[in-house]
Chains A and B, each alone.
Chain A
């Protein structure tokens, strides 16, 4: 099938008659936002609808045309496609009539949908729904794609089935299946009937039949449970795949939250250690004395001088007062002592030895001379005493200087602490600065973590933090459930094998017993038919696998072409237990690449589409076109050019609607990048809004088409 022309009349922004003459190969329709790209795609989508839905709708009608019409004037909305299919030229045409009534209401009528076939000069008019014969409805999902999200067709629920049904011979096996099942039952019944005659082995045959029946029941139970568990595993896998993409985010969030908590705690702790109540410290810790040592020194000097002066004055006074007193005493004593008088010590000696060492005469104890000496000694002793009743009046009435002197001693004791104050203060300031620094660092990290958190939350498709954390809990639970189901399947499968052996064994024994009996022939037939049935089963699986491998191989070849100078991995398609397909990229170590970049994902999915397209063409002996709406939005310019170059060399009709190859020449002024377009082989159309237009008025919007090459 080659699309030759697409005509769009009065369909939304396509005012009046518009036509695209398409060629086999690459056709690029380039337009900026609002220029009519999506409308082009929607027009075809509407045309291809064969299910009688969305037949007529005023929303399809060009607003400009409606506004232009005068009362009771009418026009048509029409989308038509001229194509060549299997040597025949056909036109698929859908249209309806619209009329503007007197009250400006628009009415639609006269819907027609037809397929016109030209056979030589003859023009055959068919129902438009016959288009399904040329492009089967099922296939459309493999040839028309609206954006990158639409490309993953394999994933859709029935795609695999469509592929298998259409492209493998499996479907034809189904009728054989039913037959072999019936035939097996019949053959076994015939064998059993024949064996019933075997009286000799009656008990053993009965036992074996019992075993066969029990084991068959057990196996069917196991099979049913396997199916349940497999479905369960797939269900959990599907649930997980929905939230799995948030798993990483949730994990990151949990760890970011942990770090935020830890940092906040540390910040609080360090902030608590910052003590900057310097003004309070000046008083409460007497830091205000930091300059006091000079004052203290001044005080000390002053007080010690005062003290010295005080003592000196007192001494002088006492000395003077003492001298006066001694003179007075001497005046009252009529026997002043001669200067040579022996001292107290000598006098005591003379008394003890009872001899006067001055005159050399003995002086017996208690003699007059001895008594005289004793009296002199006592007198002398008395003279040394200051009579108490004659106290010298104190020089000072107060002892305030002494008090000051005492405080000076205390002050000196504390001086060391005072001189240390400046150092202590500096230490404290330095410590606080360090702590502030630490806090700043922590706050910077905290800022980063909060940014991280914002970034994580911003990129989780509108999930709130709570939902994300809830998902995190679910993920591990669901993963456990999935694993449990899968483990159960494993156990069941090994059980299945065991019971199959018992069953096969019983069947073999039964067949053996039939040997040399009239039942032998029936037993043989039953065995043969069972083998055939098993072979069908295996063949069906093989066929399906072969189809999948074919698509895989073809897809990898396309991938090779579309992605020459870049990492590509290997495309792998698997069938899940529930029959759905899944396409994935595999690394050379067989590990799945979970998050390929969008460009890579687009390329591998498109490769699969090309592969399926090739299958379609082989089956139908015709090549189907492919129609994409903006598939390369994630590509870099270089990759895009390379990609289009490859597409144009595929020898396949591909129609791509895109906003690539446009560049801004001046603010708001978008023009084609002709340099880049020169390297593209194919037809190129530029669609744009006709100028001038009123950006508030849809009725002024009209798409115009110009063919670039």
Chain B
């Protein structure tokens, strides 16, 4: 019960702090922002890892494999593409004069 309370507290606190910080991010960066948070939601990979910390049946192995692969796709793809996008945001090229 205490654990659950801590979890709910963690959720509320990070949600509120995250909300305050993220609402200050300018629309200019909203696409990279979504792409980055998309990568963060792949944190679910931790669940897949924990699964393999205990004995697993063969079905669990297959499904766990799929979970980790899908989450890693999301994780790596998300961060790499965000970086690619952010590299495009440059200052001081010809248009600046």
Q: Do A and B belong to a common assembly?
A: no
